[in-house]
Structure 1
Amino acid sequence: MYEIQTREFKIQSDKSHSIFDDFKRHGFFINHSCLSGRCGNCKAKVIKGESQLVVPEIGLTEIEREHKFILTCVRRATSDMILDLDVLKDVTLEQVRTVPTKISTSTKLSEHVIKLVIRLPPGVDFKFLPGQYVNFIRGSIKRSYSIGGVEGDNKLVFYIKRYLKGVMSKYLFEEAKENDLLRIEGPLGSFFLRRDSLRTILFLAVGTGIAPILAILKSPLNRELLRDRTVFLFQGGRVESDLIGLNYFRSSTIHYYPTLSRVRRDGFYFGHIQKTLLDQDIDLSQSTVYACGSTEMIEDSKSILFKRGLKPNQFHADAFVESN
């Protein structure tokens, strides 16, 4: 048996479980998303001890490796360890389960994006924290999609981008029909609003990365907390049609910065959302950042914002990674 230690508590481990699973078995959840070594959310800094790598840590940069960071989802402890990491506190995560659903509607929003609405079985209460995701399961294929919101009492909304050669994409964009059976597994992930004391919330989203942020902003569960904060949204796309929810955000009370990277248009900022954010006079020391979208945007945002005074524990991300 082995022990994994943090600065606050000690738990037992053995070689058959990942570090992430060791914490989970004892009721402690590490920040996470993909759980496959790709997104980098579950990283921890090794203060002392050794671990064994199970699959490659794609989600780590060379600088992070040099500074002794590891990804807890793809490593097993091989000795006593002391780790510096964030553990979710005062949060109740719903039990992950698999539920049969049916496709209700599929609406084409642009050439590469659809709005998919799926219907839960009567009487099934599928609870989740706004911002979390589920896995779609069809036969042997499993792919992850963020929940973009709810419709009525038993429908979940998703905003899905088409990927070339994507197996699930081909089905959803070319073959899916109303009432098709589609199983979902979830809820999953730790991308949701934190109940911290910082007064400013910054949302960063590109493409369909806006989906979990839409769920967060529209949820009645977050209404009181958001009302007491100053909220900024920096949404990016190549062209105007990429900006899902544009009219909704423009009519809301949040500080909204729609940004285009391919064309210049009146009423829009131009370039990358990271640059748009830095051009504003925002006190990052009093801000919590939630970023969702491409890995490139998230890594660049972290690098830029940390240099400007944002602390690592004030940055939460959900990186969209391609499966094939």
Structure 2
Amino acid sequence: MNKNKCRVTTTEGKEFVSEGSMSILDSALGAGFIFEYSCKNGQCGVCKTTLLDGDVEEIAPQQSLTKQEKQQGMILSCCCEPVSDILIDAEDLSALHGIEIKTLPARISSIQQMSPDIVEVVLRLPPTADFNFLEGQYLDVIGPNGVRRSYSIASSSSQKEITLLIKKVEGGVLSQYWFFDARENDLVRIEGPKGTFFIRDLGKSLLFLGTGTGIAPVISMLQALDEKEGFVQTHPIRVFWGNRFKEDFVLCPKFKRLDVDFVKVLSRQDDVWVFETGYVQDVALTKVSDLNNLQVYACGSNEMIQSAKRKFFDSGLPEKNFFSDAFVQSL
């Protein structure tokens, strides 16, 4: 089999063919398999897997892999293409099967400035649109001049409209639109849903880490859980939300059935701040004890996520119990 047509097999026994110069991840998605992924450009490390047999070629920098991880045979499936038949240790996420990525028109139902640096945008889709997603996923908004940016969904799938929390990026092309030019009833396009960030196991304690607007998918997941018929909470649920400025704590979520320990963490000292101060991952680690019976879900800055991974793993959290969705900034 030549370089342009290689067979990829997983330790689960799933098989597909990678053709042309597509990444392993894109080939898998094209074949109907869904491996872990988020940014798709090598920065977040979510698509990390182990190459057990065969050879691959790097088609984009694997920025989030350490030298030690590379020596251990780890690769990023979004950054490599096979040059021979290969065997990888990757799991096909069956929960995402049947969820189709679509491009749809959407109109702005409302846009509200929540703080100097955060706006809430509510989008409505055409009445006939069939847009299904798992809470925790994100979508791309295609705005003026075709500029595309990714935003996590803050609403649950049961709601008729889609809510986004958008943080201002200095010099950002779409930030200019959202904060100064956007108006109700404007037409944009969305593409999604995307990503593999969703709750996996309700039989464990849940700990969520969010920085900035990384709280959006956390709220989405918890709203869905609060609405879930027959769900009875038997384990603790904790949320640690970090911001640099107290004005950016723009949400005060309330749940009808869930008992959620919701902790606000300011990363810088403030004389009138009465809640936690520091970094969310550090504060969270002081509040938990049984790491073997814990699942951690982290969303926000890539720096926070990489730090949280190291610190939680060093403290004894099994690597299989950490899930993340990193915000990789684009202007």
SS at match of 2:135: coil
Superposed displacement of residue 52, structure 1 = 1.4
SS at match of 1:100: strand
Deviates more, 1:289-298 or 1:306-315: 306-315
Q: 1:34 to 1:311 in 2, by over 3 A?
A: same
Superposed displacement of residue 2, structure 1 = 2.2
CA contact (8 A) 1:238 1:263 kept: no
* Cα displacement string for residues 253-304 of structure 1 (whole angstroms, at most 9, x for unaligned residues): 2122211111345541110111111111331111111000000000000000
Aligned counterparts, 1:84-233, within 5 A: 84-138=89-143, 139-149=145-155, 153-194=159-200, 196=201, 198-219=203-224, 222=228, 224-225=230-231, 227-233=233-239
Q: 1:267 to 1:178 in 2, by over 3 A?
A: same
User: Which residue of structure 2 lines up, in the alignment, with residue 291 of structure 1?
Assistant: 298
Partners of 2:57 and 2:287 in 1: CA distance: 44
Partners of 2:86 and 2:72 in 1: CA distance: 16
Partners of 2:228 and 2:172 in 1: CA distance: 34
* Cα displacement string for residues 102-123 of structure 1 (whole angstroms, at most 9, x for unaligned residues): 1111111111111111111123
Misfit runs of 4+, over 6 Å? none
The AA in structure 2 aligned to 1:81 is I
User: Which residue of structure 2 lines up, in the alignment, with residue 322 of structure 1?
Assistant: 329
Superposed displacement of residue 90, structure 1 = 4.3
Aligned length: 323
Matched, 1:307 2:311: no
The AA in structure 1 aligned to 2:44 is C
SS at match of 1:262: coil
SS at match of 1:203: strand
Partners of 2:166 and 2:99 in 1: CA distance: 24
Partners of 1:62 and 1:223 in 2: CA distance: 46
- TM-score, length-normalised on structure 2? 0.90
SS at match of 1:31: coil
Deviates more, 1:313-322 or 1:228-237: 228-237
User: Which residue of structure 2 lines up, in the alignment, with residue 11 of structure 1?
Assistant: 15
Partners of 1:163 and 1:49 in 2: CA distance: 42
SS at match of 2:242: strand
CA contact (8 A) 2:238 2:262 kept: yes
Partners of 1:223 and 1:290 in 2: CA distance: 23
Superposed displacement of residue 225, structure 1 = 4.9
The AA in structure 2 aligned to 1:272 is Y
CA RMSD of aligned residues (A): 2.3
Deviates more, 1:46-55 or 1:305-314: 46-55
Partners of 2:229 and 2:298 in 1: CA distance: 20
* Cα displacement string for residues 186-230 of structure 1 (whole angstroms, at most 9, x for unaligned residues): 111111111x26421110001000001111111156565572432
Question: What percent identity do the matched residue pairs reach?
Answer: 36
* Cα displacement string for residues 74-126 of structure 1 (whole angstroms, at most 9, x for unaligned residues): 21111122222333134434111111011111111111111111111123232
CA contact (8 A) 1:15 1:78 kept: no
Which consecutive residues of structure 1, in runs of 5 or more, have no partner in the other structure? none
Partners of 1:211 and 1:281 in 2: CA distance: 23
Partners of 2:277 and 2:229 in 1: CA distance: 30
Deviates more, 1:291-300 or 1:171-180: 171-180
The AA in structure 1 aligned to 2:180 is E
Partners of 1:257 and 1:320 in 2: CA distance: 21
Partners of 1:14 and 1:132 in 2: CA distance: 25
Q: 1:190 to 1:7 in 2, by over 3 A?
A: same
The AA in structure 2 aligned to 1:260 is L
- TM-score, length-normalised on structure 1? 0.92
